[in-house]
């Protein structure tokens, strides 16, 4: 799945990406402590009908760090550099967690490139003051011992009820996270901590918006996300009633089927 690695220079650093399939385009953005590999169970189904572009965001996967802080806007610009190289004029963008924050920043800057947007366990809200304090505490822990921070966090992204039979998926997610360099982790934490709200942007968007919500998401509470969902004009929903924050790993078939339907809707116009 990752054998066709390509890269583009952005601010003199390599941003790596992978492609599969042909046709109209869907871009998959991973979340914090992730990489393009988290989508491996989804890509085969989507690439049957679409050109799939999966990107390692700065400081994650095979992409280099760009500095102490990776703002959502900076990461959105790195995504745009990939689309520019590939001469992509229209795409549907799917962003998981932090990748959703990046997708919203992309929408704010490059809306004409978007045929649709999926917030995959993600939100338009900025960090609360308490969450900002959590980010600062996390930065201190990562500086001392990244493993101490990474392992319990990744485990918390899965619904507890799923851990007993998703041991391989948990191991995969943990290995991906442990491969993330401390500089990349800290730069992302700073960027997420300092990001601004995208609530007004999300409410104004007229393009199709899909939200993926997990009932047992320990990061983004379902009630909060459903309130956000109701503010969207052209809204679509995948509700994973048995899963947490990692739908593409916990329930890849339901995730892929819903994304295929959403892509068909976005491109049928």
For residue range 22-47, list pLDDT tens digits in order.
999 999 999 999 999 999 999 999 99
For position 269, what pLDDT does the model report? 63
For position 4, what pLDDT does the model report? 82
Q: Does residue 71 carry a pLDDT above 80?
A: yes
The Cα–Cα gap between 109 and 76 comes to 8
The Cα–Cα gap between 143 and 157 comes to 22
Q: What mean pLDDT do residues 14-25 have?
A: 97
For position 262, what pLDDT does the model report? 98
Mean pLDDT of the chain: 96
Pair 254, 248: CB distance under 8 Å: no
Pair 143, 25: CB distance under 8 Å: no
Pair 254, 37: CB distance under 8 Å: no
**Residues in a beta bridge with 96:** 120
Tokens 């003199």 correspond to 12
Pairing of strands 235-240, 51-55: unpaired
CA distances from residue 256 to 16, 27, 95, 262 in whole angstroms, order as listed: 23, 14, 14, 10
The Cα–Cα gap between 247 and 29 comes to 14
Q: Does residue 199 carry a pLDDT above 70?
A: yes
Pair 206, 117: CB distance under 8 Å: no
Q: Does residue 3 carry a pLDDT above 60?
A: no
pTM of the model: 0.97
The Cα–Cα gap between 261 and 28 comes to 16
Give the number of residues written for the chain. Answer: 269
Q: Strand 114-120's sheet: what is its strand order?
A: 6-10, 13-20, 51-55, 25-29, 91-96, 114-120, 209-214, 235-240
Q: What percent of the chain has pLDDT over 70?
A: 99
Q: What mean pLDDT do residues 189-208 have?
A: 97
């Amino acid at each position: 799945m990752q054998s066709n690695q390509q890269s583009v220079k952005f601010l003199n650093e390599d941003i790596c990406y992978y492609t599969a399939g042909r046709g109209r385009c869907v871009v998959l953005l991973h979340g914090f402590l992730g990489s393009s590999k988290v989508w491996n169970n989804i890509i085969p189904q989507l690439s049957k009908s679409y050109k799939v572009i999966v990107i390692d965001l700065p400081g994650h996967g095979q992409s280099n760090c760009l500095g102490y802080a990776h703002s959502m806007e900076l990461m959105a610009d790195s995504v745009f550099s990939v689309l520019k190289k590939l001469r992509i004029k229209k795409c549907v963008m799917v962003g998981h967690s932090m990748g959703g924050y990046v997708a919203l920043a992309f929408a704010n800057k490059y809306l004409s490139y978007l045929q649709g947007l999926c917030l995959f366990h993600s939100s338009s809200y900025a960090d609360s003051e308490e969450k900002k304090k959590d980010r600062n505490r996390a930065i201190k822990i990562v500086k001392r011992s990244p493993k101490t921070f990474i392992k319990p966090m990744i485990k918390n992204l899965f619904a507890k009820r799923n851990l007993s039979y998703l041991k391989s998926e948990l191991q995969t997610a943990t290995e991906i996270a442990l491969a993330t360099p401390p500089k990349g982790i800290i730069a992302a934490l700073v960027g997420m901590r300092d990001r601004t709200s995208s609530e007004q942007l999300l409410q104004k968007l007229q393009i199709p918006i899909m939200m993926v919500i997990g009932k047992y998401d320990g990061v983004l509470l379902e009630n909060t996300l459903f309130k956000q969902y109701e503010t969207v004009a052209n809204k679509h929903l995948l509700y994973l009633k048995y899963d947490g924050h990692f739908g593409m790993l916990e329930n890849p078939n339901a995730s892929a089927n819903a994304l295929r339907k959403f892509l068909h809707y976005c491109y049928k116009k």
